[in-house]
Chains A and B, each alone.
Chain A
C-alpha cells in the first residue's frame, strides 16, 4: 500500500499558541513539552464519514417550533476549501452560539441576561460538492467572561468541522466585522498573525442579504491541505 500524501506542515503564524498568558485558562492546561510530529499515516489521512441519516442536518436556528427567535436574523454562508484551494465536500459543520442577549442555552452559563424560549443556538449542516454551506440564525450578543480586560467577549459563532482527513479536524470561531471588542479580546488577538486573525472575521455580503428577512454574512473556512509534493526519503 502506498503511503498517504502527507499533510503540509502547519504554517508559522497561522495558528494560535497553546501557551497564551493573556488568556488565563491556558495557564494550567497547555502542555509544556513540544508535540511529537508524526508522519501522515492512514489514521490521519482518513476520517469519519458523517451520514446525514445518523447526523441529521439542522440548518435553521432562528425558529423553534414555528416561533421566531428574538434578534437580528442572519444567513451565514461560505465555502470550505483546503489550503490548496480545493473544495471540501460533505464536510460536517457544527455550530453553536449565544442568543441575541448574549446568553447560552447552557446550564453553566450564569450570565444575567434573558434566555429566549424560541432559541437554542445549535446547528448542523453539510457542505455540498463545491464545499458550500449555509445556515440561518440570529446574530449572537456579546457576553461577559472572567479574564483581564474589558470582561466581554466579542460576538461570535463557534464552528466545528470534520473534513476528509482526521488531520483537518478544526474547531474555530467566526467573528463579526467592525466589532469594537475584537481589539481587546485575548482569544481573538492571540489567534496568530494579522492575516490569521482577519480570516476569522466574516464579511457582510450583499449577495446573501434577503430584503425584509435577513442580513447575510460570508465566512469561508480553510482546512489543512496536502503537501504539494510527497516527502522524498533520501
Chain B
C-alpha cells in the first residue's frame, strides 16, 4: 500500500484558481440554475489565534441537496475567498438531513474546508443549523465534547443569512474534523 501524497499549503497566491462566481451555487449560468429549495446565505468571519482576521483563505463547501441526497443533479460544491475582513459568503439552498452510520440520521449540514497560507493541510468542519430538531441525535456532533458543539452550529440573522464564525486557534477554537 502506497501512502497518500502529502498535503501542502495552498499558499498566498491560490487566488489564481479563485472563480468568484463559484460562491453562488444558484447562479443563473451555473449547474444549479432554477434548483428547488430554501435559498440561504452561509457566511462568517475567520480569525487566527491572535484574533486577527484571515483575509487570504480559500473556503470550500460541500453539501447535500434539499432532499438530503448527494447523488442527485444538484451540484453541492462552492468555493470563495475570504475578503479583507476575513469573511466568506456562499449562496446556496438549505440541505436536507442525510443518512448516518447504522440506522442513524445526520442533521442537515454543510461541510466547510479551509485552505490558506500557514495551513499545511485543509481544515474541515461542518455548519449545522441552530434550531434543527435533529441536532441532539446527530452522530457526528455526539463525538464532539458538548461545550464545543456550538462552534459547528450556524445561527440565523436578518435577511435569511446563517452565520458561522470560524476561529482557527485559541479561545473558542472551532472543532475541526479528521475525515
Interface residues of A (CB under 8 A from B): 1, 3, 7-8, 10-11, 13-18, 20, 23, 25-33, 35-44, 46-51, 54, 81, 83-85, 94, 96, 98, 104-106, 108-109, 120-122, 158, 160, 166-167, 169-173, 187, 190-192, 195-197, 199-200, 221-225
Contacts and interface: CB of A to CB of B under 8 A. Distances in A.
Contacts of A48: 62, 75-77
Given A10-B4, A195-B3, 8 more contacts: A16-B6, A18-B121, A28-B168, A32-B170, A39-B101, A43-B70, A158-B11, A196-B3
Interface residues of B, number: 67
B164 to A, nearest CB: 16
15 contacts: A3-B101, A14-B6, A16-B120, A16-B121, A38-B179, A48-B62, A48-B77, A83-B2, A104-B16, A160-B10, A170-B4, A171-B115, A171-B122, A191-B6, A195-B3
A23 B118 contact: yes
A81 to B, nearest CB: 8
B4 A187 contact: no
Contacts of B48: 28-29
A15 B48 CA distance: 22
A41 B120 contact: no
Nearest to A33: B173
Contact of A83 (B4, B8, B9, B101): B4
B15 A36 contact: no
A108 B102 CA distance: 49
B119 A43 contact: no
A28 B3 contact: no
Interface string B103-145: 0001001010101111111111000000000000001100110
Contacts of B121: 15-16, 18
Contacts of A106: 13, 15-16
B99 A41 contact: yes
A170 B119 contact: no
Contacts of B76: 48
Contact of B111 (A3, A32, A43, A197): A43
A94 B17 contact: yes
Contacts of A187: 8-9, 120
Nearest to B70: A46
Contacts of B115: 171
Given A1-B99, A11-B3, A171-B122, A31 B75 contact: no
B42 interface: no
B158 interface: no
Contact of B50 (A23, A28, A41): A28
Contact of B13 (A50, A109, A224): A109
A122 B62 CA distance: 23
Contacts of B36: none
A195 B4 CA distance: 11
A11 B140 CA distance: 22
Given A46-B70, A195-B3, A37 B17 contact: no
Contacts of A224: 4
B175 interface: yes
Interface string B35-50: 0000000000000111
Interface centre among B5, B8, B75, B175 (most CB of A within 10 A): B5
Interface in B7-43: 7-17, 30-31
A113 to B, nearest CB: 13
Contacts of B93: none
Contacts of A43: 62, 64, 70, 98, 106, 109, 111
Contacts of B120: 15-18, 20, 23, 26, 187, 190-191
